[in-house]
């Protein structure tokens, strides 16, 4: 019975990693579509919203079934609890990818202002955080998330920088208002994705140690 449960738990983590990587892929693809002003690529991201939602529902039901049938304790229960948080964060990362993709059509008619400011660099840093949070969950290794607090501070600073730069361009020319408003919102979406990576990291910490931490 215990062997079967732990096989199920392993399969649960495998499915969760697949979902987390889909959310990450949606975000990466959306940013690429924005940089390249590729409306077709952006549409492909929007089309994946149902897939990631269906994965969340299926994995969540699997979690509840494992709890009901096996009454897990200690580390096993923390793995399931962490998994529930990971799928929620992954869904939201994917949805922010969809939100970024939805801006592409409005931004594809004219060249980007200031090469998208610092958005490509910010996106790379956020995606690195998502990658490391996923690795920490996959490998039960906390070293991937040790420096998340300082990395999150960097993301926050970049968002504020993009906001200030966007306001400057708006003031210089009212024709920039719509485009810069989109840039500011994209920076906000990226910041929220970093926050969700931090949430995954917090729950991996709890999964491994039984101690709750807050990354901010």
Domain CATH for 111: 1.20.58.220
Residue 215 falls within a domain, yes or no?
A: no
Compute the average pLDDT of residues 118-144: 97
In whole angstroms, give the CA distance from residue 200 to residue 137.
8
Q: Residue 113 has which token pair?
A: 């202002």
Q: Indicate whether 199 pLDDT > 80.
A: yes
Reported as a single tens digit per residue, the pLDDT across 40-91 is: 999 999 999 999 999 999 999 999 999 999 999 999 999 999 999 999 999 9
Residue 39 falls within a domain, yes or no?
A: yes
Reported as a single tens digit per residue, the pLDDT across 167-192 is: 999 999 999 999 999 999 999 999 99
Reported as a single tens digit per residue, the pLDDT across 105-130 is: 999 888 999 999 999 999 999 999 99
Q: Which phi and psi angles does 91 have, rounded to 5°?
A: -60, -45
b/e code 161-192 from CB counts within 10 Å (16+ = b): ebbebbeebbeeeeebeebbebbbebbebbbb
Sign of the dihedral defined by the CA atoms of residues 44, 45, 51, 54, in that order: negative
Q: Would you state the pLDDT for residue 216? A: 75
Q: Would you state the pLDDT for residue 87? A: 98
Q: pTM of the predicted model, to two decimals?
A: 0.96
Residue 178 falls within a domain, yes or no?
A: yes
Residue 214 falls within a domain, yes or no?
A: no
Residue 131 falls within a domain, yes or no?
A: yes
Q: Indicate whether 2 pLDDT > 90.
A: no
In whole angstroms, give the CA distance from residue 38 to residue 32.
8
Residue 99 falls within a domain, yes or no?
A: yes
Q: Residue 93 has which token pair?
A: 């990362």
In whole angstroms, give the CA distance from residue 207 to residue 121.
31
Residue 74's domain comprises 2-209
Residue 78 falls within a domain, yes or no?
A: yes
Q: Would you state the pLDDT for residue 108? A: 87
Give the count of domains, the chain. Answer: 1
Per the prediction, the chain carries an average pLDDT of: 96
Residue 46 falls within a domain, yes or no?
A: yes
């Amino acid at each position: 019975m215990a062997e079967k449960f732990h096989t199920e738990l392993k399969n649960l983590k495998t499915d969760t990693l697949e979902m987390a990587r889909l959310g990450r892929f949606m975000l990466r693809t959306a940013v690429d579509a924005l940089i390249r002003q590729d409306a077709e690529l952006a549409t492909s991201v929007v089309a994946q919203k149902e897939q990631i939602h269906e994965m969340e529902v299926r994995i969540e039901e699997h979690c509840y079934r494992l709890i009901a049938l096996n009454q897990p304790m200690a580390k096993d229960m923390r793995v399931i609890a962490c998994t529930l948080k990971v799928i929620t964060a992954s869904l939201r990362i994917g949805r922010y990818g969809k939100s970024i993709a939805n801006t592409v059509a409005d931004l594809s008619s004219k060249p980007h202002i200031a090469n998208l400011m610092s958005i490509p660099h910010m996106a790379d840093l956020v995606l690195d955080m998502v990658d490391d949070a996923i690795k920490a969950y996959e490998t039960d290794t906390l070293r991937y998330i040790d420096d998340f607090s300082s990395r999150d501070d960097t993301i926050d600073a970049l968002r504020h920088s993009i906001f200030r730069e966007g306001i400057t361009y708006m003031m210089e020319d009212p024709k920039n208002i719509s485009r810069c408003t989109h840039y500011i919102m994209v920076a906000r979406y990226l910041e929220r994705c970093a926050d969700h990576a931090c949430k995954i990291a917090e729950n991996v910490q709890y999964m491994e140690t039984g101690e709750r931490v807050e990354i901010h």
